[in-house]
Structure 1
Amino acid sequence: MNPSSSPNKPALNVLGDALVICGCQPMTGWHRDGYCRTNASDLGRHSVCCVVTEAFLSYSQAQGNDLTTPAPAYEFPGLKPGDHWCVCAPRWLEAHEDGMAPPVRLESTEISTLEVIPLALLQASAA
């Protein structure tokens, strides 16, 4: 389990402070609690809080992950530009390398993200 999200210790963000909620409209996060915190069962590492853009939504769909179509069975209304969403760290990095990464909310991005993405890169993409 990721130590930053253990039940006995509050999750930290990439700045070393307490993790701030990312978004609840729609509800985001691996745990669907609004926080971009992860654990060992989250193989995708949904730890990067982003402000999604039209470009990123199109990019994600082209990569096989349609985030715009509602999925009522999962109480997912579909995303629109401006929504805050926990994105998988490897996918965000891939999108960055392709020039399509959405802005990042550093205060809401879990510290474990730094195992995948350098802080300087996140800071350069801060919302």
Structure 2
Amino acid sequence: MAHNVLGGELEPCSMDPLTGFYRNGCCDTGGDDAGVHTVCVRLTSEFLEFSRSVGNDLSTPRPEFGFAGLKPGDQWCLCASRWSQALAAGQAPEVVLEATHARTLEWVDLDDLRRHAATR
């Protein structure tokens, strides 16, 4: 069983859009997840623009990969390093703590995550 950053059982992040490295709705991770897609975020237009500006366009549909594109309000499993980068740039989106994998704490301090906690 995977745990979240609060020590409880990892909850699903989003089934629509379907997220997670394993596309199971959870921010689960494993040895094959080099990007460590562990942070469940609630997207904002500001973050989507920031992400595009640093080379990761999450809003443009990519039908060849079965990706419809993301919009503000969607929840998504984000790479821990990208969330940390966004935090440093003052662009960090809200985090759903219950759905954020405990491995995130290898990159990000729990206090920073709590300061950006989303309400469910």
The two structures have a TM-score, normalised by structure 1, of 0.91
Q: Helix, strand or coil for the counterpart of 1:60?
A: helix
Q: Helix, strand or coil for the counterpart of 1:107?
A: helix
Residue among 112, 116, 119 paired with 1:125 = 116
Q: Deviations over 1:63-91 (max 9, x none)?
A: 11110011112221100000000000011
The answer as to 2:28 corresponding to 1:37 is yes
Residue among 24, 42, 47 paired with 1:51 = 42
Aligned to 2:79: 88
The letter for the 2-side match of 1:126 is A
Offset of residue 43 of structure 1: 1.1
Aligned to 1:64: 55
Q: Helix, strand or coil for the counterpart of 1:21?
A: coil
Q: Helix, strand or coil for the counterpart of 2:33?
A: coil
CA-based RMSD:
0.6
Q: Helix, strand or coil for the counterpart of 1:112?
A: helix
How many residue pairs align between the two structures?
A: 118
Offset of residue 46 of structure 1: 0.2
Runs of 4+ in structure 1 deviating by more than 2 angstroms, as ranges, are none
The letter for the 2-side match of 1:33 is N
Aligned to 1:5: none
CA–CA distance in 1 between the matches of 2:112 and 2:86? 12
Offset of residue 24 of structure 1: 1.2
Aligned to 1:4: none
Aligned to 1:27: 18
Identity of aligned residues (%): 49
